[in-house]
Structure 1
Amino acid sequence: MQDSRSASPEDQPYHGVSYGEAFRIWLRVAALSFGGPAGQIAVMHRILVEEKRWISESRFLHALNYCMLLPGPEAQQLATYVGWLMHRTLGGLMAGGLFILPGIIAIMGLSWIYALYGKVGFVAALFFGLKAAVLAIVLEAVVRIGRRALKNPVLVGIAAAAFVAIFFFDAPFPLIILVAGLIGYLGARANLPEFQVGGHGSQSEAEADNLLGEHLPDHARPNTRRSLRIAAVCLALWLVPVVALLLLLGDGNVFTQIAIFFSKMAMVTFGGAYAALVYVAQQAVDTYGWLQPGEMLDGLGMAETTPGPLIMVLQFVGFMAAFRDAGALHPLLAGTLGGLLATWVTFAPCFLWIFLGAPYIEVLRGNRSLSDALKAITAAVVGVILNLAIWFGIHTIFRDVHPVEWGILNFDAPVWGSVNFWALLLSAAAIIAMFRLHVGMLPTLAATSAAGIVLYAAGLIT
């Protein structure tokens, strides 16, 4: 490694990693960011903690727990956090921006293909197969994140309660998060052993052996003037386009609806990508009618097969919404603009949350009450992901559902006579492949997609 004393502070920060080297590493992280948030976090951990030793295990998990608490995609925000920690605001923009760039390009290309040929038999059959694998992938995410987060019966109970609250009673996710965090905080304050799940002891030698060390750089210290300046710039970049569309086009225009809907989504969908998809799927399908439940699963399959955050499926939703309500524009141009608009208003706030909040989170490292509150929140997120898995499973395996509303109960129940045998068979095969045979995500997606095409060619699905 180059001696940092021979370089200017701008080119060579105190940890010795230049902007050029950081760009190459973040580009590598972006290129390998398949598999949803669980896989992406695992890739970042392997590269940043184990291979490059830029950041310690405890600091990485501290940042991750904060990002799990935020609205939006936790993996992209984690990349932004570490990039900011190492190279200030420019580093955060570089890490967070590169993390989503491959997905933007890939999802846009697939959206064009889907819009032009999605109803063609073999393309529809391919996406029929994708849905089965997506269900297995989401279930695997529940298991993988659950193993990491649910360290004792109390945290398991929090996850179970969160699932029941959101699935059966349609409880607001912010309320679930607030209650879980309060339970974790009070448990730590009461010094209950059930909440002391590790991470409070002294650092191991391996954790201490990293370039950042335990150093708190100047830009990571809270500064009111700097915070206000960052907030003003980020809010302007996020909200000025939204207000301009509202004033120029009115609230009935599809572009205005996309801008307002996804801006609202960026503020209220806590718990990362899977939790956001619960909100988006229900609103985009049931409230706006932009697409059908099956099409939402098609978009999710696209996001699972491409690099970048799983929440890139929102670009597909924005694309299809504008494509089908193009007005005077060419449908493909309208769809492209709608997809990019959805992406902009979804990810612009993510940088705000990190640049504004991360300095305060950094100075709270080692605070046991905060740490345990974050762990309880992570447990609640597991229950929300399980809710998503069941919601997608119902809409994948059954052709029809009916709403159940009885007092405070409010959920969708499958119509048992509408089961799709081939969807059930492919979903079961994908689950066995991934859970029992340990087949990777991409081979499973490829196999179920090929199976869908074979079934179509044989006349077994239409």
Structure 2
Amino acid sequence: MNDAPGTPRYTLWQMVMYMLRLGALGFGGPVALVGYMLRDLVEDRQWITQDDYKEGLALAQLAPGPLAAQLGIYLGYVHYRIRGATLAGIAFVLPSFLMVVALGWAYTRFGGLSWMQAVFYGVGAAVIGIIAISAKKLTEKSIRKDKLLWAIYLLLVVVTVTTESEVAWLFIASGILVWFLRAPPQWLKKGNLNAAALAQATMPSMTAGWLGTIDVSLLAQIALFFGKAGTFVFGSGLAIVPFLYGGVVQQHHWLNDKQFVDAVAVAMITPGPVVITVGFIGYLIAGLAGATVAALATFIPCYLFTIIPAPYFKKYGKLPAVTAFVDGITAAAIGAITGSVIVLARRSIVDLPTALIALAVVAMLWRFRKLQEPIVIAAAALAGLALYPLMHS
């Protein structure tokens, strides 16, 4: 291949096939998925530069929507622009969408998935090991020995663990702090900034109020609700879960509590983005049409929030001010990702067997760098099926 500067070292088809494989075999949720992209595309294959990866991660954290999907879309955009972003995004989401639709069909046909608790018992613990290793690699690669970035990183770890949520404004504040300290601007248009901040703060509530007054058919209601979820929820895929619960269970009464918990479990035991749980929920509400509408409504906003600002990130990303801003947001993002590992561990590691599974996964992935995660997940699922009945008899 041509390795000249600016020329991609891969074809668009190769990127699409990689995203298709990641969507079909990438377990562990957003933390692990962004780690896989760093390992595979930046370190091993060297298709994407470290700077392009950092820009994509920063943009994904700044914009609302699912983190891993937005990063995948941006990496598709880097060399192949709109066509690459579109095909990479579709390839990343499609495999897990088909899986959750199939599980939705089985769920409705056979009256629930009783085996899911046992599988998730083992898989949930293994996922903690996978994402812990991913968070370690992200930290080493992006924070390095920079004291300012370490301070931001540790602050976000503490905030995420304490609040059990991702505080979006801290990402922006971190970027501004590093920008002001390392490449201070000559002047600031305070009036414009205040107006922009006011618009950002009021838009979600105004739009939500307007959408809430419309009386439309079921599919249109699904499109409006999941469109709001994709437009106004920041953070990793798990950040959307409380929003979905409030609307799907409490507001619209489309699902009961047990069905919703099963939907989240389906997202965790299937590969690809956690947000794909919207496909399972949509299927339970209105069949295949509901699944399709829910998935499209959730992912189209995150696609637009990625490709619209992407040209400006590419054009101005090397300016000192922008580089400092991106460094600050990246440190905050990785701190939040690391904190989420601890939050998830509290929920998934519930006894000695799950703790041993998580530690065993960490040890294996540390020792055997080329070990494929799907093999680890399959082994953990079998362990869960064997151990869960013994621990809950």
Q: Is the 8 A contact 1:275 1:385 kept in 2?
A: no
Report SS of the residue matched to 1:160: helix
2:216 aligns with 248
Distance in 2 separating the partners of 1:136 and 1:114: 29
Percent identity of equivalent pairs: 24
- Cα distance between partner residues in 2 of 1:389 and 1:56: 26
C-alpha distance in structure 1 between counterparts of 2:252 and 2:138, whole Å = 32
Q: What is the match of residue 134 of structure 1?
A: 127
**Equivalent residue runs for 1:56-455 within 5 Å:** 56-117=49-110, 119=112, 121-151=114-144, 152-168=146-162, 173-189=167-183, 246-249=214-217, 255=219, 258-277=222-241, 280=244, 290=255, 291-292=257-258, 294-295=261-262, 297-303=264-270, 306=271, 308-320=272-284, 322=285, 334-396=286-348, 423-438=350-365, 441-455=373-387
* TM-score scaled by length of structure 1: 0.64
SS at match of 2:309: helix
**Structure 1, 146-155 or 175-184: larger mean CA deviation:** 146-155
Pick from 24, 28, 33 the counterpart of residue 18 of structure 2.
28
Partner SS for 2:308: helix
What residue identity is the alignment partner of 1:98? A
Deviation at 1:188, TM superposition (A): 1.7
CA gap 1:153/1:435 in 2 versus in 1, 3 angstroms: farther
Alpha-carbon displacement from aligned partner over 1:38-86 (angstroms, at most 9, x marks no partner): 5544554566556776554433433333233222234433333343343
Distance 1:172 1:436, change over 3 A: closer
Greater share of helix: 2
**CA–CA separation in structure 2 for the residues paired with 1:105 and 1:170:** 30
CA deviations over 1:402-435 (Å, ceiling 9, x no partner): xxxxxxxxxxxxxxxxxxxxx4223212221122
CA distance in 2, matches of 1:394, 1:317: 25
Higher relative contact order (CA 8 A, sep 6+): 2
* Distance of aligned partners of 1:275 and 1:317 in 2 relative to their CA distance in 1, 3 Å threshold: same
CA distance in structure 1 between the partners assigned to 2:154 and 2:248 by the alignment? 27
Q: 1:29 and 1:455 mapped to 2: Cα distance? A: 34
Deviations 1:139-173 (A, max 9, x none): 44433333333333433332333344455457872
Change (3 A) 1:162 1:42: closer
Give CA-to-partner distance per residue, 1:79-118, whole Å, 9 cap, x none.
3334334344233212221221112112222233344457
Task: Summarize the Cα distance change of 1:287–1:390 in structure 2 as closer, same or farther, 3 Å threshold.
Answer: farther
Paired residues of 2:16 and 2:91 also in contact (CA < 8 A): yes
Q: 1:430 to 1:156 in 2, by over 3 A?
A: farther
Q: Deviations over 1:210-245 (max 9, x none)?
A: xxxxxxxxxxxxxxxxxxxxxxxxxxxxx9xx9799
Question: Which residue does 1:461 correspond to in 2?
Answer: 392
1:364, distance to aligned residue in structure 2 (A): 0.7
| Alpha-carbon distance in structure 2 between the residues aligned to 1:171 and 1:125 | 27
Query: Structure 1 stretches of 5 or more lacking a match?
Result: 3-13, 192-238, 323-333, 398-422
Aligned equivalents of 1:52, 1:172: Cα separation in 2: 31
The structure-2 alpha-carbon separation of the partners of 1:61 and 1:337, relative to structure 1 and needing over 3 Å to count, comes to same
Q: What is the letter of the counterpart of residue 216 of structure 2? A: L
- Taking the aligned partners of 2:59 and 2:134, their CA distance within structure 1 comes to 19
What secondary structure does 1:32 align onto?
helix
Shift of 1:282: 7.5
Q: How many residues align?
A: 355
The structure-2 alpha-carbon separation of the partners of 1:427 and 1:172, relative to structure 1 and needing over 3 Å to count, comes to closer
Cα deviations by residue, 1:294-336 (Å, 9 ceiling, x for unpaired) = 5355123223xx2x3333233234444x2xxxxxxxxxxx243
* Counterparts of 1:110 and 1:360, CA distance in 2: 40
Q: Tell me the CA shift for residue 352 of structure 1.
A: 1.2
Q: Report the CA distance between 1:347 and its aligned residue.
A: 0.9
Q: Tell me, yes or no, if the aligned pair for 2:174 and 2:328 is still in contact at 8 Å.
A: yes
Q: Is the Cα–Cα contact under 8 Å of residues 83 and 95 in structure 1 kept in the other structure?
A: yes
- Cα distance, 1:121 vs. partner? 4.4
Whole-Å separation in 1 of the counterparts to 2:212 and 2:32: 38
Deviation at 1:376, TM superposition (A): 1.8
CA contact (8 A) 1:275 1:384 kept: no
